[in-house]
A and B are shown apart, each in its own frame.
Chain A
Amino acid sequence: MTSVSETPSITTRSAIEEFLFHEAGLIDRWRLEEWLDLFTLDCTYEVPATDHPDADPGLTWSLIHDGRTMLEQRVIRLKKPEAHAEFPHSQTSRIVGNVQILDETDESISVTANFIIHRAKAGKFDTYVGRYEYELVPRNSSFLIRRKRAVLAHDMLDPQGKISFII
């Protein structure tokens, strides 16, 4: 019974946590260009459909399957006042926890964490919960995100109705 990787991780959990908390803070503060800078050029950002949480968003009708180009476009769009669902911007506050390093090689670290995001907009208060799966690559003294996958722990998007901000 091994629940922990045999080769002890060189990267510490606190270093990963610091990075994830930093990422969460950038999104909550709508510093989305800086957030985008956390990603590699070959990155993907995925949110599977609520009824197929384990599916590959590249081959199924998922909620989000962005490569770098679309991720940039998503950010450009969200910053425009004509992104009607997000103007004025919603307020989000996210808690990232249960951070675990699952695997580590010289090139990449796979990490999982849970999230709870509270979103307030126009008198409505919604909660989004789920699990993150990250593939991080070491860069200088920190990391870049090669893959971010947010798996919602929802049956459907009700009452939330939409995901119009970065999750």
Chain B
Amino acid sequence: MTAEQFIIDDRENNLFRVNREAFTSEDVLQRERKEIFGKTWLYVGHESEIPGKNDFQTRDVGGRPVIFNRDRHGDVRVLLNTCLHRGSSVCRHSSGNAKIFTCFYHGWAYRNSGELVNVPGNEDYKSEPAAVYKGLQSPAQVDSYRGLYFVNFDPDAPDLLTFLGEARYFIDLAADQSPEGVAILEGTHKYSLKANWKLLVENSIDGYHAKSVHHTHFEMMMELGATPPMLGKDTVNGIAPAGMGTEFPNGHATLMYPANGLPLATDSVKQTLAGLRAQAEQAFGENYANAMFGLARNSVFFPSLILIDLSFGLTLRTFYPVSASETLVTGWQIIPKGVDEEFVKYRIDNALTFWGPAGLATPDDVEALEQAQKGFGARGEVGWSDVSKGMGKPVPAANDELQMRSWWREWNRRITGEQLPTEGTSFVPFDKQGVDA
């Protein structure tokens, strides 16, 4: 990479462009590994995935193998899944329950709180490995918000709450959907894309492509008696049917729009939903309950945690690059706790019609991103992508591209050090003050 300019942010002409090298260069990926995946807060997992003592999940977070677990006292830990001896994984299962992690290579054993407790042939060492090496390492910082656990490999990074800022209210809207809290359902969508990870960031908060890429899904919704997103008539908490995009500090962004009809909802499902809504109204006020159940939201938490909260399905996904042109995605479904089976079933079925590698929409997204990556083969001739839609509008709609520009400015700041001003002020479509009080 010789040209150091990755984005053109032309406020005079309201043009925003991204250098396609950003999607193809291995050098850029190395910088991302250091400046982004090495220094920002990265999502690891939800507390409901390790409900009991000694439960664990193994994950790949920003390229690092980790064990996300509860130790024998019930404390949540994140341990780097690499043996201090010569590097092998100490845990090779995707999930389970274990008090001790024993490395299969030479048998060093660690307690699930990290301490190295057994070294075969210990007597052959002049200095005992346990005394020298102590135990499995953890990321520099581990913290959680509303049950979502994050790590940061940079000891100097600002804390999680500061990093999330106001954008955390969109996590609240999800976490508050049941007085008993929310949980991640069993079953994970794990799949790969032959495309750069930033294309999936863009796609996850892109309202513009919905009509073209998901045309067949919209037709299906209408056939089943539901109004597709952004095509309704109602305004919710001041958000017009076309919705709006809003940006937050640190590259987080949201697009939101009034949530429309529920396809195939039975009376019992509607009743359960009304019950959740009534409880939320009582606890947090009408305005907040409206935002929670009357608005749909796609949020990105920089760099690659996506929360899609559609009132009939709550999908969480995160993804990390394998190479400049390959990404591994993990997706989960969140469910409000304490609801009946029929409601759970309905949410699953509804969400599945759209999301996931075998859904009726996501495969088309994958196709679009893989085709874009292919198109970048011509970057020598066509060097820049356009992300200008809605730029300069006082209130960008959900199908404008403010969200992406906000994300790209943060990416650019971290990669090049260039600080560019935001386009407007952040907007939260409900009275959160009352909630905090």
Which of A's residues lie within 8 Å of B, judged by CB? 47-52, 55, 57-65, 67, 69-70, 73-74, 76-77, 80, 82-86, 155-164, 167
A52 to B333, CA, bound (A): 14
Residue of B nearest to A123 (CB): B374
Tally inter-chain residue pairs, CB-CB below 8 A: 129
Which of under 10, 10 to 19, 20 to 34, or 35 or more describes the interface residues of B? 35 or more
Closest-CB distance, B106 to chain A (whole angstroms): 26
CA distance A50 to B328 in the complex (A): 14
**B348–A65 contact, CB under 8 A?**
yes
Contact between B216 and A61, CB atoms less than 8 A apart: no
The distance in angstroms between the C-alpha atoms of A65 and B331, with both chains bound, is: 16
**B186 in the interface (beta carbon within 8 A):** yes
Q: Give 15 new A-B contacts, CB below 8 A, not counting A83-B216, A84-B213.
A: A49-B189, A50-B188, A51-B187, A51-B188, A58-B345, A58-B349, A59-B344, A61-B356, A63-B357, A73-B220, A77-B217, A77-B220, A85-B363, A85-B366, A162-B366
What is the CA–CA distance of A76 and B348 in the complex, to the nearest angstrom?
21
Q: With A70-B349, A83-B364 known to touch, is A161 a contact of B188 (CB < 8 Å)? A: no
- Chain A residues with CB under 8 Å of B363's CB are 85-86, 162-164
- Give bound CA distance, A163 to B356, whole Å: 9
Residues of A within 8 A of B328 (CB): 156, 158
Chain A residues in 8 Å Cβ range of B367: 84-85, 162, 164
- Assess whether B357 is in contact with A162, with CB atoms less than 8 Å apart: yes
Q: Given the complex of chains A and B, what is the CA–CA distance between A27 and B264 in angstroms?
A: 27
B187 x A48 contact (CB < 8 A): yes
Residues of B within 8 A of A60 (CB): 185-187, 348
- Cβ of A69 and Cβ of B224 under 8 Å apart? yes
CB nearest to A86 among chain B residues: B363
Indicate whether B332 reaches chain A with its CB closer than 8 angstroms: yes
Are B191 and A156 in contact, CB atoms less than 8 angstroms apart? yes
User: A48–B358 Cα gap in the complex (Å)?
Assistant: 11
Once bound together, how far apart are the Cα atoms of A49 and B356, in whole Å?
A: 10
A51 to B356, CA, bound (A): 14
Determine the chain B residues whose CB is within 8 A of the CB of A80 once the complex forms: 216, 219
| Contact assessment for A74 and B360 in the assembled complex, using a CB-CB cutoff below 8 Å | yes
The answer to whether B85 has its CB under 8 Å from any CB of chain A is no
Cβ of B362 within 8 Å of any chain A Cβ, yes or no, is yes
Give me 11 A-to-B residue pairs in the complex whose CB atoms sit less than 8 angstroms apart, sorted by A's number: A47-B358, A57-B187, A58-B349, A59-B344, A60-B187, A63-B356, A76-B220, A77-B219, A82-B216, A85-B364, A160-B357
Task: Decide if A162 touches B353 in the complex (CB within 8 Å).
Answer: no
Q: How far is the CB of B435 from chain A (nearest CB, A)?
A: 29
B94 within 8 A of A: yes
| A59 and B341 form a contact (CB under 8 A) | yes
Q: In the bound complex, how far is the Cα of B223 from the Cα of A80, in angstroms?
A: 15
**When the two chains form their complex, are residues B356 and A65 in contact, meaning their CB atoms are under 8 A apart?**
no
Partner of A160, one of B95, B186, B191: B191
What residues on B are CB-neighbors of A76 within 8 Å?
A: 220
Flag if B192 contacts A161 (CB, 8 Å).
yes
Q: Say whether B191 contacts A161, CB under 8 Å.
A: yes
> Cβ of A64 and Cβ of B220 under 8 Å apart?
no
CA distance A9 to B247 in the complex (A): 65
| Listed residue (A49, A74, A155) with the most chain B CB atoms within 10 angstroms of its CB | A49
Q: Is the CB of A49 within 8 A of B216?
A: no
Q: Is the CB of B187 within 8 A of A158?
A: no
In the bound complex, residues from chain B placing their C-beta under 8 Å from that of A65 are 348-349, 352
Please name the residue on chain B nearest to A51 by beta carbon: B188
Contact A63–B348 (Cβ < 8 Å): no
| Cα of A77 to Cα of B214 in the assembled complex, Å | 10
- Contact between B360 and A62 (Cβ–Cβ < 8 Å)? no
Q: How far is the CB of B50 from chain A (nearest CB, A)?
A: 15
B357 near A59: Cβ-Cβ < 8 Å: no
- Kindly state whether residue B31 has any CB partner on chain A within 8 Å: no
- Residues of chain B within 8 A (CB-CB) of A83 are 216, 364
Q: Mark B189-200, 1 if CB is under 8 A from A, else 0.
A: 111111000000
